[in-house]
Structures are given as structure tokens and as C-alpha cells.
């Protein structure tokens, strides 16, 4: 799940501080808590600065999701590069899964990601950003499935991603470490796909 880096406040632009404050607020209090005043207060910028960068709440939500997605796509592409170059192999599957799940460092950001996904079901303007993130997850799943010898990884990748999302949601709710369960699910899905193709 997504991990937006916490740049030092003095290094971040006012616009970026606003986006990160909005994400923290979404993750801790939900979308309903997002208002220009509250986000400006949390980002330590003036209300005028916030409205200069974001004309309305919808634009603020869209740009927050784009920040989250942009950093998540870059993180996933780096993991995928390790698979393609052979730095990671089948023996590293537990490490790969652990890295991909990223050990819920900041639960509020993972909650914000799920909240924004749900909001995209009602706001079509968010769907492109969600689709970009889903494509990155599918791409990483495809790389892992190729490594596992699955004949049609494109067909199985969305199922893997959905399984990982479900286990990540379970982790949020229960607090349990689901890395081993995710690795096992990935191996079972790969074995099932190979058996069906064989």
C-alpha cells in the first residue's frame, strides 16, 4: 500500500504541505473532515495560500490522490526493476511481499488510499489516478507471476492485486502481520494458474 514520504516541513513547498496535510486528515478523520480551513491549519499555511493552489475541495482531493499515486507508482516500479534485473528472485519472495506491503509505517496513509479509492466510485475525476495506481500494482504482480512461472500472468495479476488489497485491509482492521499469508496466497494462486494451464 501507499507510502507517501514525509519530507521535512521546511523543505516542502506550501502546495505539497497542503496535499500531505489533506492525506493525513483523510486517513485519520475521513473525507468528511477535509475542509480548506482545517487543511490550511494542519499544513501551517494561510487560507489564501490554500485557495490559490486549490480552487475547491474536489481539486484538493484529486491532487492529494495524485501525490499518493505518484509516489506509490515510483516505489512499485523500483521493486519491479529489481525483479527484471534479477536482483530479486523466487527465493526472495517473502522479502518482495514484505517490501511491496511496506509494513504499514503510517496507517493513516493506507486508510487515506482506501478512502480515496472509494471516493473515486462517486467521483469520475479521480478514476484516472486510481487506474494509474492499479496498473502499477498489476505490473508488479505480473513481474512476480512471471518469476513464479505462471503461463498467463496478465490474467492472474488482477486477482493477485485484489488478494493483496484484501489482506492489507485485514491488516488495517486487525493489526496482524499478513506478510506470510500474502506470500502463501501468491504461491497458491500461481500454483492454481499453472495447473489450469497445464
Secondary structure (DSSP) of 146-172: HHTT-S-HHHHHHHHHHHHHHHHHHHH
Q: What is the spatial distance between Cα 20 and Cα 152, in angstroms, rounded to a whole number? A: 38
- Give Dmax over CA atoms of the chain in angstroms: 63
C-alpha cell at 189: 494462486
Whichever domain contains 90, its CATH number is 1.10.357.10
| Local confidence band at 43 (pLDDT 50, 70, 90 cut-offs) | very high
Question: By residue range, what is the domain housing residue 70?
Answer: 14-197
Average pLDDT score over the chain: 83
The answer to whether position 9 is within a domain reads no
How far CA 156 is from CA of 21, 70, 150, in Å, comes to: 36, 24, 8
| Domain assignment present for 3 | no
147 within a domain of the structure (yes/no) = yes
Count the neighbouring beta carbons within 10 Å of the beta carbon of residue 83: 18
The rounded distance, in Å, linking the Cα atoms of 174 and 82 is 31
Q: In whole angstroms, give the CA distance from residue 97 to residue 1.
A: 11
Domain for residue 7, yes or no? no
Domain membership flag for residue 2: no
Between 23 and 101, the higher pLDDT residue: 23
Assess whether pLDDT exceeds 90 at residue 17. Answer: yes
Q: pTM for the whole thing?
A: 0.75
pLDDT band at 142 (very low <50, low <70, confident <90, very high): confident
How many domains in the chain? 1
Residue 5 lies in a domain: no
Could you tell me the pLDDT band of residue 28, with boundaries at 50, 70 and 90?
Answer: very high
Amino acid at each position: 500500500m501507499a507510502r507517501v514520504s514525509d519530507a521535512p516541513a521546511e523543505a516542502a513547498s506550501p502546495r505539497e504541505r497542503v496535499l500531505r496535510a489533506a492525506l493525513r486528515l483523510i486517513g485519520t478523520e475521513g473525507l468528511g473532515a477535509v475542509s480548506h480551513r482545517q487543511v490550511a491549519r494542519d499544513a501551517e499555511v494561510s487560507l489564501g495560500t490554500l485557495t490559490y493552489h486549490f480552487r475547491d475541495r474536489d481539486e484538493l482531493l484529486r491532487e492529494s490522490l495524485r501525490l499518493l499515486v505518484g509516489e506509490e507508482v515510483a516505489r512499485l516500479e523500483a521493486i519491479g526493476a529489481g525483479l527484471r534485473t534479477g536482483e530479486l528472485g523466487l527465493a526472495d519472495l517473502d522479502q518482495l511481499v514484505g517490501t511491496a506491503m511496506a509494513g504499514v509505517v503510517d496507517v493513516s496513509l493506507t486508510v487515506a488510499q482506501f478512502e480515496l479509492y472509494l471516493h473515486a466510485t462517486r467521483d469520475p475525476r479521480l478514476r484516472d489516478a486510481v487506474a494509474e495506481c492499479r496498473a502499477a500494482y498489476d505490473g508488479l504482480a505480473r513481474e512476480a507471476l512471471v518469476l513464479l512461472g505462471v503461463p498467463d500472468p496478465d490474467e492472474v495479476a488482477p486477482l493477485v492485486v485484489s488478494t493483496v488489497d484484501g489482506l492489507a485491509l485485514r491488516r488495517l482492521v486487525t493489526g496482524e502481520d499478513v506478510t506470510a499469508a500474502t506470500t502463501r496466497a501468491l504461491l497458491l494462486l500461481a500454483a492454481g494458474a499453472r495447473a489450469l494451464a497445464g
